Structure 1
Amino acid sequence: MSKIRRSERLIDMTFYLLERPNTLISLSNFVERYDSAKSSISEDIGIIRRTFMMRGIGMLETLPGAGGGVLYTPGISKDESQKFLNDIKNEIAQIDRILPGGYLYLSDLLTNPEILKTIGRMIATQYADSSIDVVMTVATKGIPIAQSVANYLNVPFVIVRRDSKITEGSTISVNYASESSDRIQKMELSKRSLKAGSNVLVVDDFMKGGGTIIGMKSLIEEFDANYIGATVFVENSTTSNNVSENSITSMFKVNEIDPNKKSVSIDEGNFIENTNFNYFE
Structure 2
Amino acid sequence: MKRSDRLIGLTNYFLNHPRTLTQLTYFTDRFDASKSSISEDLDMIHEMFQYEGIGVLNRVSGAAGGVEYVPAFSKEASSSFIDRVCEDLQDASRILPGGYLYMSDLLGNPAIIKEIGQAFVSAFQHEKIDAVVTVETKGIPLAYAVADYLQVPVVIIRRNMRVTEGSSVSINYVSGRSQKIQTMVLPKRNLQEGKNVLIIDDFMKNGGTVSGMMNLLEEFKATVVGIGVFAEAEDEEDERMIDQYTSLIKVSNVDYRKKHIDVHRGSFYE
Letter in 2 for 1:257: V
Match of 1:186 among 155, 177, 183: 183
Q: Distance in 2 between matches of 1:210 and 1:44?
A: 47
> Partner of 2:216 in structure 1?
219
1:255 matched to 2:252? The reply is yes
Quick check: 2:234–2:252 contact (8 Å CA) kept in 1?
Answer: yes
Q: Distance in 1 between matches of 2:4 and 2:131?
A: 37
* Aligned equivalent of 1:196: 193
Do 1:243 and 1:249's aligned partners in 2 also have CA atoms closer than 8 Å? Answer: no
The yes-or-no answer on 1:94 pairing with 2:86 is no
Q: 1:151 aligns with which of 148, 153, 159?
A: 148
**Cα distance in 2 between the residues matched to 1:196 and 1:265:** 41
2:91 is equivalent to residue 112 of structure 1: no
Q: Hey, what's the Cα distance between the residues in 1 that align with 2:98 and 2:213?
A: 26
Of residues 64, 69, 75, the one that matches 1:67 is: 64
**% identity of equivalent residues:** 48
Corresponding residue SS for 1:15? helix
Other structure's SS at 2:211 match: helix
Alignment RMSD, CA only? 1.5
Pick the aligned partner of 2:263 from 245, 263, 266: 266
Deviations 1:137-162 (A, max 9, x none): 10000011011111111111011011
User: What is the total number of aligned residue pairs between the two structures?
Assistant: 268
**Structure-2 separation of matches of 1:243 and 1:178:** 13
Report the TM-score, using the length of structure 1 for normalisation: 0.91
Is the Cα–Cα contact under 8 Å of residues 132 and 147 in structure 2 kept in the other structure? yes
Amino acid at match of 2:195: S
Residue 207 of structure 1 is matched in structure 2 by 204
Q: Structure 2: which 5+ runs fail to align?
A: none
Say whether 1:57 aligns with 2:54. yes
Equivalent residue for 2:122?
Answer: 125
Superposed structure 1 runs of 4+ greater than 3 Å apart: 238-243
Query: Structure 2: how far apart are the matches of 1:240 and 1:115?
Result: 30
| Conservation of the 8 A alpha-carbon contact between 2:49 and 2:55 | yes
1:108 corresponds to which letter in structure 2? Answer: D
CA distance in 2, matches of 1:243, 1:183: 17
Decide whether aligned partners of structure 1 residues 265 and 141 sit closer, same or farther in structure 2, where only a CA change above 3 A counts.
same
Q: 2:12 aligns with which of 11, 15, 40?
A: 15
1:264 and 1:135 map into 2 onto residues whose CA distance is 31
TM-score, length of structure 2 as denominator length: 0.94
Deviation per CA, 1:18-53: give whole Å up to 9, x if none.
111111111122122222111111000001011111
Q: Which amino acid aligns with 1:179?
A: G
Corresponding position: 1:236 with 2:233: yes
Unmatched segments (≥5 aa) in structure 1? 274-281
Q: Partners of 1:76 and 1:103 in 2: how far apart?
A: 29
Q: CA separation in 2, counterparts of 1:243 and 1:121? A: 24
Q: Deviations over 1:155-176 (max 9, x none)?
A: 1101101111111111011221
